[in-house]
Amino acid sequence: MLANRKVVVTGSRGMAGALIEQLDILNCKTFALGGEENDGANLLSKCRNLLGYDPVDLRIENQVEKGFEKANQALGKITDVVSIVGGSGRSFGDGPLHLMSREAWDKTLELNLTTTFLTAREAIKLLKLNGGGSLTLTSSVLANSPSPEYFQTHAYATAKAAISGLVKTLAAAYIAENIRVNAIAPGLVATPMAARAATNPEIVEFTKKKQPLIKAQLPVENLVAGYLVLLENSAITGQVLTIDGGWSTITDI
């Protein structure tokens, strides 16, 4: 049961916002870290079980530390942390490796991998003190199932592959302390991050074929359902749950 859980979620829109809203319906206490301030304020106005929001920059170490302190004070003993914040590095110049600058590489990894590291570190510290719980990270189908034609963003894929690798080693390291570590690996999801793909006719047609179970970008509800499974099932650790509408099974396009 999730009703008595106290969950920190990183992010305030897209999958993070939808997860917070669903946890609210399930009477689960939450605290949001990072994301956009306007989105956080909107969530606070709608979700009575959202006990706070702190728009920290999850790339900055001391902000993450202070944010988790604030969350722990608001929630009491945190039981679960879900790390969702991340995003495309295209605006930094992420793309094919041979065309990428060092700056684009560093900024994309910082947005996706450093944010995950800092979130995971602070989560593990508190879960150890609180007697265990769960940490759920967010990878991507691109970590293991590339699409060279339309999604040749090599820094992003590398960051997400590293997150998938982190799951197994953290799960093994902290299992004796009753801390479970898993991840969701989404396909192409209907969120603000995927707006470019949603407005490109070629990618729209590609998506219909690549995600045949949905024939479109995945509704956020499909991902929220996966996060809830990993939060609730106390027998799951060290797993990366791929929710991709069939993307990774289609290898001929």
At 173, is the secondary structure helix, strand, or coil? helix
Domain boundaries, the chain: 6-242
Asked whether 227 and 19 are in contact (CB, 8 A), the reply is yes
For 30-73, the DSSP string reads EEEESS-HHHHHHHHHH-TTEEEEE---TTSHHHHHHHHHHHHH
The closest of 189, 192, 191, 171 to 181, measured between CA atoms, is: 171
Distance in angstroms (rounded) separating the CA atoms of residues 117 and 137? 10
The separation between CA 7 and the C-alpha centre of its own chain, rounded to angstroms, equals: 14
Tokens of 113: 């991998």
Q: What are the DSSP calls for 128-149, one per residue?
A: HHTT-EEEEEE--GGGTS-BTT
For residues 15 and 88, the answer to whether their CB atoms sit within 8 Å is: no
Q: Kindly report the pTM of this predicted structure.
A: 0.96
With H, G, I as helix, E, B as strand and everything else as coil, classify residue 207.
helix
Across the strands, what pairs with 134?
80, 180
What's residue 77's pLDDT? Answer: 92
CATH of domain 6-242: 3.40.50.720
253 residues of the chain, pLDDT tens digit each:
788 899 999 999 999 999 999 999 999 999 999 999 999 999 999 999 999 999 999 999 999 999 999 999 999 999 999 999 999 999 999 999 999 999 999 999 999 999 999 999 999 999 999 999 999 999 999 999 999 999 999 999 999 999 999 999 999 999 999 999 999 999 999 987 777 777 899 999 999 999 999 999 999 999 999 999 999 999 999 999 999 999 999 988 8
3-class secondary structure, 219: coil
Amino acid at residue number 119: T
Question: How many angstroms separate the CA atoms of 214 and 245, rounded?
Answer: 6
